[in-house]
């Protein structure tokens, strides 16, 4: 079964909008796990506009499933990961002013940098993943960095799903097959939803994990976390 990791950035955004601690981020993480989520993902950014660095520290103490920390590996981020030692760190090349992640790594141009960063994390026993576009050359470049996994950036798939899902899934299948041949694990994330997740999961060979935040939180506004988590798990089941 493909694992479901829930990105709780948007919960933090809601909390921060009013100050205080409502909703309680730690309690939400616990509840999501109790409803069946197999991981919790956070993506702290330098301005801490949603997930704060202290949130990451606090969550590291209470997440009982898999804890995945995403971000651009500047020194502050590297220090945070080494302090909290999550199960997985996902490297994302987002700009400081990016609203959300909008591109994968150029693993060829950034090969030396990524190799150095990944070596730091792997020395501490932290599994690594690199955010990449569905381009075989980028997958091949990721292999050279020493990473354990890639995370396929799925915005293009989500945007084109309704018009021609067979066309937009094709580069993802090609990239996944390349990753399989190279011995890289495959994660995926960005704009996956209840609408498009089942076709993606059934099309991608050996898809290990999806990270879903914005859509899942939005769907839960209508149906509740427990119902939405159950629906995702059903669609991700083998």
- Average pLDDT estimate for 76-103: 83
Domain positions in the chain: 3-236
Question: 3-236 has which fold?
Answer: TIM Barrel (3.20.20)
Query: Which of 132, 210, 201, 133 is CA-nearest to residue 161?
Result: 201
- Average pLDDT estimate for 1-6: 96
At 165, list the tokens: 């899902």
pLDDT in the model for residue 50:
94
**How do residues 129-148 score in pLDDT, each as one tens digit?**
999 999 999 999 999 999 99
Residue 211 has pLDDT above 80, yes or no: yes
Contacts of 100 (CB under 8 A, 6+ apart): 94, 190, 214
In whole angstroms, what is the distance from residue 169 CA to residue 174 CA?
9
pLDDT in the model for residue 102:
59
- Average pLDDT estimate for 38-43: 98
At 218, list the tokens: 């939005």
Residue 179 has pLDDT above 60, yes or no: yes
The chain-wide mean pLDDT, for the chain, equals 95
pLDDT in the model for residue 140:
98
- Average pLDDT estimate for 26-55: 96
* Catalytic positions, written as ranges: 43, 70, 190
pLDDT in the model for residue 101:
54
Sequence length of the chain is 238
Contacts of 46 (CB under 8 A, 6+ apart): 74, 76, 96
pLDDT in the model for residue 99:
46
pLDDT in the model for residue 129:
98
DSSP H stretches of helix in 49-148:
53-62, 75-84, 111-123, 136-145
């Amino acid at each position: 079964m493909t694992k479901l990791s829930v990105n709780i950035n948007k919960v933090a955004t809601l909390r921060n909008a009013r100050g205080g601690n409502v909703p309680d981020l730690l309690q939400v993480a616990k509840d999501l796990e109790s409803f069946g989520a197999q991981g919790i993902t956070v993506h702290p950014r330098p301005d801490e506009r949603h997930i704060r660095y202290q949130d990451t520290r606090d969550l590291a103490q209470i997440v009982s499933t898999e804890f995945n920390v995403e971000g651009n590996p500047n020194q502050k981020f590297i220090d945070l990961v080494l302090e909290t030692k999550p199960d997985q760190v996902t490297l994302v090349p987002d700009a400081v002013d990016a609203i959300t992640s909008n591109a994968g790594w150029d693993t060829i141009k950034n090969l030396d940098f990524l190799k150095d960063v990944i070596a730091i994390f792997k020395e501490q026993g932290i599994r690594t993943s690199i955010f990449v576009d569905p381009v075989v050359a980028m997958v091949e470049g990721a292999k050279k960095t020493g990473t354990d996994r890639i995370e396929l950036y799925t915005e293009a798939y989500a945007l084109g799903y309704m018009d021609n899902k067979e066309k937009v899934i094709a580069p993802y299948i090609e990239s996944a097959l390349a990753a399989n041949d190279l011995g890289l694990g495959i994660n995926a994330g960005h704009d996956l939803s209840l609408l498009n997740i089942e076709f993606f999961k059934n099309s991608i060979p050996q898809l290990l994990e999806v990270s879903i935040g914005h859509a899942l939180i939005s769907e839960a506004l209508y149906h509740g976390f427990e119902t939405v988590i159950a629906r995702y798990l059903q669609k991700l089941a083998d």
